[in-house]
Structure 1
Amino acid sequence: MPPLTRLSGISKVRLLNWRRQAVINAMPGIKPGQIRTPWHEFWRRFRRQPVAMGAGIFVLLLIAVAVVAPWIAPFDAENYFDYDRLNDGPSMMHWFGVDSLGRDIFSRVLVGAQISLAAGVFAVLIGAVIGTVLGLLAGYYEGWWDRIIMRICDVLFAFPGILLAIAVVAVMGSGMSNVIIAVAIFSIPAFARLVRGNTLVLKQQTFIESARSIGASDANILFSHILPGTVSSIVVYFTMRIGVSIISAASLSFLGLGAQPPTPEWGAMLNEARADMVMAPHVALFPAIAIFLTVLAFNLLGDGLRDALDPKIKG
């Protein structure tokens, strides 16, 4: 039989189907539908968690709303001004009320979802990619690679995350792009430590020794054998880290270091609402609720993913 890598796409599918059928034939009494793949096991465990399922549905709806927010917002989030209803509370026309400049808060919260989610996801994505590579190198090669990378992580961990982000933004300047970079920087050591720990365990496994014995390169071992074994941990931590990043970005904007007016970012909206919180609490209430629900949903989703992906947990 020719090696699988030399076959055409159609031949590969036929060969894989043949192998699957051979496995089924070798197990009397087992029907094809009874064979559970890792995906089936994950989904079976995950759907038995109603809280995590609800959080997942909320996150999906939030992402969908964020994507189409500029088109479904009833008013322009930045350039609409209703001077006759300054600081008015919720009404049929303005569901979340109006701020001190006459802008529709509901429209601004919708558009702000796009900005806040993008900041959180991109910051974690950058931190995850860099941290994963550093963690793989530190755990696989150990020695001076491990000492240098882990000492840098220790230095970054010595600073509270938000203070480190403030320092970075203070040096680089305000703006959402710099906020994303700042939040990404203090996400890097967390991912590096997580992946390093998994790599130290996986590199001792028999299948890694087998890969070395047949001449597999270090890059092949790292990215084809060790990295797939850490993906579940990375996915779980990635999901939970998004909530932290959203809060951090909102905090920087609240301090005036992130998004600048009139950008409808949730933290910036809270910053603008400070002067009116006593007379018009709704101006700050709805952006705060949006931050709370979003962070809570990502944390609950991360908990559910962790339980579903953990092979020790039986549904």
Structure 2
Amino acid sequence: MEPLSWGQIIGQMFIQFTPVWIALVVLFTASIIYKRKLGLYGKLFDSPIGMIGFGIVMFWVFTAIFSNLIITHDPLVQVSGMKNKVPGTPVPEGTAGFEYYLLGGDNLARDVFSRMVAGSRIVVQIAPFATLFAFMVGITLGLPAGYFGGRLDTFLSFLANLILAFPVILLFYLLVTPEIVATGLPTYMAGVLFLFPIIFLVVLWNSRYFTQPQKRNVFVAITLLLGGWVYLGTAWGADPTGFFNMQSNILIVFVSVVFVNSPTVFRIVRGLALDIQTRDYVAAAQTRGEGPWYIMLWEILPNARGPLIVDFCLRIGYTTILLGTLGFFGLGLEPESPDWGTTINAGRRLLSIFPHPALAPALALMSLVLGLNLLADGLREESLKD
């Protein structure tokens, strides 16, 4: 068979992404129709920059979701004779999967297109959820530090500044090195850090439904049951069903991201709490006799959502870059992992001769971070109109 031209390659890739295009059309159509009922998310569709960023981000999210339908070959399988082949090269007869390597082969004769698509799944699994956990830690500690002040604020701020004193890349490097992993430190850190989402939700329900004990007890019981199940699986690998058990290499990277991002989130939340607690509606809540945690979680936090949502989007972008950096240095994830950083590192050795193995994941990483930045700009623009 003759190699594919670039027009044919682009056309076939467009066809491979059909599930993603369908999902994007459905999502955008429903969102635009009901945008006036969707709060800040709906207002995002009034911002062209925000819509473009949201579209790019959701493209990669849906790519991760439908990755098994999009890939043309197993991203870990090596096909004889396809080492460093250029895009559009036909595979040998009898090879499972599509008839061509759409974006060529890498230095181990694996399909670059399939590895790029499979790599999105790893990024989407780690970056948003690790950032969410970091926000849970930062919010749970930042609110009381800013609201109560005093020795509590001094102590927590000292710990945050101590962690932030280390260069981020160096701290990541130390946390994922085999010597540190062998001590079990990442597991113990997970045992502590992963408790914060449960603590946050329990305090949230208790402060909101303190006067309705039956409803409060139901919410707290559900949180403890489901949260404990997820906690045992993710932190200790003790989920009897195996559904929430996290691979050790992913756990190491996950914990590192949470640990590094939490102090920055803490400082942002603390600063917002110091500012918002001087507002009149906080004084009115205090006059009504509301408890401090109710004021923090239901008066201060909702009014800080704009800056926090924007920072959340930006921080996912930073986390994506950090994951790529770790993969580039061969740390954290397995060497054969299709994550974008590892793939770029594998392809850089022959970059001047065969640029396609490193170029495809590099462009994917760049586009996702660009989409997150544009989304954050759109959210910032709309939040300022409130």
Q: TM-score normalized by structure 2?
A: 0.67
Match of 2:167 in 1: 160
Match of 1:77 in 2: 75
Amino acid at match of 2:61: I
Once residues 373 and 40 of structure 2 are traced to their aligned partners in structure 1, the CA distance between those partners, rounded to angstroms, is 22
Match of 1:57 in 2: 55
Q: CA deviation at 1:72?
A: 2.1
Amino acid at match of 2:83: L
Which of 172, 181, 193 in structure 1 is aligned with 2:181?
Answer: 172
Match of 1:309 in 2: 383
- Structure (1 or 2) with the larger CA radius of gyration: 1
Is residue 299 from structure 1 mapped to residue 356 from structure 2 by the alignment? no
In structure 2, the CA distance between the partners of 1:206 and 1:37, relative to structure 1 (3 Å rule), is: farther
Which of 143, 148, 158 in structure 2 is aligned with 1:151?
Answer: 158
Is residue 88 from structure 1 mapped to residue 85 from structure 2 by the alignment? yes
In structure 2, the CA distance between the partners of 1:220 and 1:37, relative to structure 1 (3 Å rule), is: farther
Contact 2:55 2:371 in 1 (8 A): no
In structure 2, the CA distance between the partners of 1:41 and 1:164, relative to structure 1 (3 Å rule), is: closer
Superposition pairs for residues 191-206 of structure 1, below 5 Å?
A: 191-206=265-280
Structure 1: stretches of 5+ with no match in the other structure: 1-35
**Which SS does the other structure have where 1:187 is aligned?**
helix
Once residues 286 and 42 of structure 1 are traced to their aligned partners in structure 2, the CA distance between those partners, rounded to angstroms, is 31
Offset from partner CA, 1:186-233 (integer Å, 9 cap, x none) = 111111111111111211122222222222111211111111111221
Q: Which moved more, 1:135-144 or 1:223-232?
A: 223-232
Amino acid at match of 2:325: S
Once residues 60 and 75 of structure 2 are traced to their aligned partners in structure 1, the CA distance between those partners, rounded to angstroms, is 18
Match of 2:353 in 1: 279
Q: TM-score normalized by structure 1?
A: 0.82
Amino acid at match of 1:58: I
Which of 83, 107, 118 in structure 2 is aligned with 1:111?
Answer: 118
Offset from partner CA, 1:251-302 (integer Å, 9 cap, x none) = 1111111211221111111222233323311111111111111111101111
Q: CA deviation at 1:175?
A: 2.3
Which of 259, 262, 277 in structure 1 is aligned with 2:333?
Answer: 259
Once residues 359 and 56 of structure 2 are traced to their aligned partners in structure 1, the CA distance between those partners, rounded to angstroms, is 20
Contact 1:180 1:249 in 2 (8 A): no
Is residue 237 from structure 1 mapped to residue 323 from structure 2 by the alignment? no
Q: CA deviation at 1:176?
A: 2.5
Tell me the number of residue pairs that the alignment of Structure 1 and Structure 2 aligns.
Answer: 275
Contact 1:240 1:298 in 2 (8 A): yes
Q: CA deviation at 1:104?
A: 0.6
Amino acid at match of 1:57: G
